[in-house]
Amino acid sequence: MIVGLGNVGKEFEATRHNVGFMVVDNLASKFKKLFIPGRGNYYFAHFSIAGDDVYLVKPTTYMNNSGIAVKEAVERFEINLPELLVVYDDFVLPLGKLRIRKMGGDGGHNGVASIIYHLNDNRFPRLRCGIGNEQVKPGADMVNFVLSKFDPDEIPVVEKMVKTAADAAVMFLTEGTEAAMNQYN
């Protein structure tokens, strides 16, 4: 399962906080699948790779309550946590950088904190997508920053990052976390 974190609604489209949604949208397009409502607070798309079922998930609970939807989807599709990849934005990473980890804390990300809380576990892989830029300074208004749209000159970097993150997610699915880490970190 690949979960992309973001906020639903037109006003949040193409914002920094919706990079996770952008990555799973890219994957759905690549595999020619559409998102449909799930039995819970999420949309999902389903396809197979090498005989394995794959689910792309977009929570509809808004970022800070992502864990509600992730728990529902994990239980519904009977996903083991090492088979769950959560994709989300990280303002600490420079724009365009990717980092994959097997597990860890929330790093100050409310969506990831919600997932850890609702799953009562932090042992799931995650793919952090860098959205930071020179505006990110100590004391900056981070809420407004993450909810802002990308600057026009950043868009080519974002598009490349989203495509590369989607490729990393496919490698996670086909070759595992270690291989994806070695290739994309």
Characterise 107 by phi-psi region: left (phi > 0), alpha (psi -120 to 50), beta (else). Answer: left
Which helix (H) or strand (E) segment is 2 a member of? strand 2-4
The contacts of residue 45 (CB under 8 Å, 6+ apart) are 24, 27, 28, 31, 33, 34, 35, 36, 55, 56
Q: Is 17 a catalytic residue?
A: yes
Quickly list H helices, 31-90: 66-76
- State the sign of the Cα–Cα–Cα–Cα dihedral 18, 22, 27, 28: positive
Catalytic entry in 17, 46, 109, 118: 17
Lookup result for tokens 């950088």: 97
Tell me how far apart the alpha carbons of residues 174 and 12 are, in angstroms, rounded to a whole number.
31
Query: DSSP letters along 77-92, please?
Result: TT--GGG-EEEEEEEE
Q: What six digits make up the tokens of 2?
A: 């690949």
Chain Cα centroid distance, residue 46:
16
**Which residues form the catalytic set?**
17
